[in-house]
Chain A
């Protein structure tokens, strides 16, 4: 075991333990760690956006070659329009910038989302029913699961009789899905805890674990 001599490791160790003290009850150490995290995060993003966007993508190209980059003034003006929201008298100007952002974002995104998130997913449920490959056939389960779950969310007809039965089956598929998601969530949270334990054992106390 070799204790770390890096002061940053010990600072990280202190804040890790400070956060964990919340498990006992809310306290000063937890609040300190929480506020430091929020403050550093905010500072990081402000510096990053300023350097990468304002300086990197606007000021530097304009100041080095104005002739080829003068079109950058248009998005810069749009950006300034966004800030007008803080002045009620001129807040209407921000709508132009928002309209452009929403319009271009939807234009870029919609066709791809429909293609990748709807159509290709739909094709993936149009499967041959195969009893020979694995047990009852995964394809059959996928088809029944998709159809029954969709029928559960079909509210134009009362869930009675055959429709009600299929909708109930849909609930079972949904519950299994939620259960799997919850199980994975537990696993994820524990992984983060394991990560911190590994940090303490390996980086702080210098233990050889593998």
Chain B
């Protein structure tokens, strides 16, 4: 077995070890690779940056623990931006109840950090059954649809939500999702009520979501850990997303090298035969 044949039949476990090293080592030896800001990330940042303290952003944490690594950095970055700009936020988990346990403690922690008052600066609604009916209901009667927040307080009794009647009172809806939830927001909130929608999605789905961005159905898009890292750069608060981007870049380099070597091995051994 010559070199190229050995390369072609490389034990997958060697690949795993090299990828692991490519992911772990950058946390100890930083090269400071730059993170370029994409226009779709900048669009969300600019939109929130131009909101006033009376505006409300509705964030739906439509995700579960499987994609926590990609979407929680986005959630934290967007909440930080809104709190810094004194923009009010209403947080929910319209599409996925598993998001409640992921989103609520982080929202509380950030609210404490920025000294925000519950009910005045932010509200947490949690999850309720029937996402499509919820999204449509919010366009007709926001308070009637949700009725209470996550802690069973009537939305009429909370200063922030008492003023929200429908999507006209919500400046932007952001769906953070590892599923098709953002499409549901487009179909039920944008198409029917012309609500402004932005999406933060896992990288797996990013390529499929660009047509919605191009069609103007989304005002902006955060794609995977890269999107989170870009947003963190924009708000000058590097965190989980930025920390992971160097590891991502090095592991991509390793994978590209493996693809090149694998193809070289294939063509060289075919040439010999």
Contacts and interface: CB of A to CB of B under 8 A. Distances in A.
Interface in B88-128: 97-98, 127-128
A8 interface: no
Contacts, number: 124
A199 to B, nearest CB: 8
Interface stretch (B42-50, B77-85, B182-190): B182-190
A150 interface: no
B242 to A, nearest CB: 6
Interface stretch (A26-34, A64-72, A78-86, A114-122): A114-122
A207 B188 CA distance: 44
Contacts of B190: 116
Interface stretch (A87-95, A153-161, A162-170, A190-198): A190-198
A113 interface: yes
Nearest to B232: A210
A191 B242 contact: no
Interface string B23-40: 110010000000000000
A43 interface: no
A63 interface: no
Contacts of B225: 187, 191, 194
Contact of B215 (A109, A121, A193): A121
Contacts of A4: none
Interface string B210-241: 01001111000001111000000000001110
A191 B129 contact: no
Chain B's interface: helix, strand, loop or mixed, by majority? helix
A181 interface: yes
B157 interface: no
Chain A's interface: helix, strand, loop or mixed, by majority? helix
Given A109-B132, A120-B215, A187 B242 contact: no
B268 interface: no
A180 B207 contact: yes
Nearest to B226: A187
B127 A194 contact: no
Interface string A92-125: 0000000000000000110011011100110110
Contacts of B215: 120-121, 123-124
A170 B19 CA distance: 35
B72 to A, nearest CB: 8
A23 B16 contact: yes
Contact of B216 (A124, A186, A188): A124
A115 B98 contact: no
Nearest to A23: B16
Contacts of B158: none
B189 to A, nearest CB: 10
B13 interface: yes
A53 interface: yes
Contact of A198 (B214, B243, B251): B243
A172 interface: no
A18 to B, nearest CB: 16
A201 interface: yes
A3 interface: no
A198 B240 contact: yes
A52 B127 contact: yes
Given A23-B16, A194-B248, A109 B187 contact: yes
B191 A120 contact: yes
A10 to B, nearest CB: 17
Interface in B122-171: 127-129, 132-133, 136
A190 to B, nearest CB: 5
- The 5 nearest A-B residue pairs measured at CB: A195-B69, A124-B215, A188-B203, A191-B225, A194-B244
Given A177-B207, A194-B251, 4 more contacts: A109-B187, A188-B70, A190-B19, A210-B239
